[in-house]
Amino acid sequence: MNDLHIELIHQLFGEADKINMPLWLQGGWAIDAKLNRITREHEDIDIAYPGDRTTDFLALLYSLNGVITEQTNYGFLADIRGILLDCEPCIRMGENYELESLPPGSCPLKPTGILGDKLLRCTSWEAILWDYFYYMAEVPQNQWRPKDFLSFALAKESFGDSATQHLHEQFKRQHTS
């Protein structure tokens, strides 16, 4: 399934480039792209897209025979050829884009990862870890799947244990006040 995901990622990002629309990988595929290696089998593709270009992004998904399957409290889910896309808008902040309520720099404009020889934009390590902090707050770790532990460990290792701890403290301050 990973090969089909990579093929779709390349197609989706390639078509977005044609209309000058940045997209960012999030979650597990962002981790793999940032590490330039496949670490596990993936179930879905997490994508951040410019919220101010939602109409263009939807048109792009439809042009690839995508179907919106569910609205979520943060964005929407879509299906293209049986592959689940978990889509979240980022907001424009001056010349940049950011994921709402996350530390600055969450959606860098320069590519920060590579999959199959294609440079891709990925959300920052901070944004990836922030998602795990939310997950920790919502799901007890005894209910985590092996892939959750693996991906979290890879993100922590890449960002650094001390930096991860400081970021987690920042998350806790922001979400307990």
Residues labelled catalytic: 86
Side-chain half-sphere exposure of 62, counting CA atoms within 13 A: 6
Q: What angle do CA 133, 121, 74 make, to 5 degrees?
A: 45
For the residues of the chain, what is the DSSP string, one character each? Answer: -HHHHHHHHHHHHHHHHHTT---EEEHHHHHHHHHTS--S--SEEEEEEEGGGHHHHHHHHHHTT-EEEEE-SSSEEEEETTEEEEEEEEEEETTEEE-TTS-TTSB-SS--EEETTEEE-B--HHHHHHHHHHHHHHS-GGG--HHHHHHHHHHHHHH-HHHHHHHHHHHHHHHH-
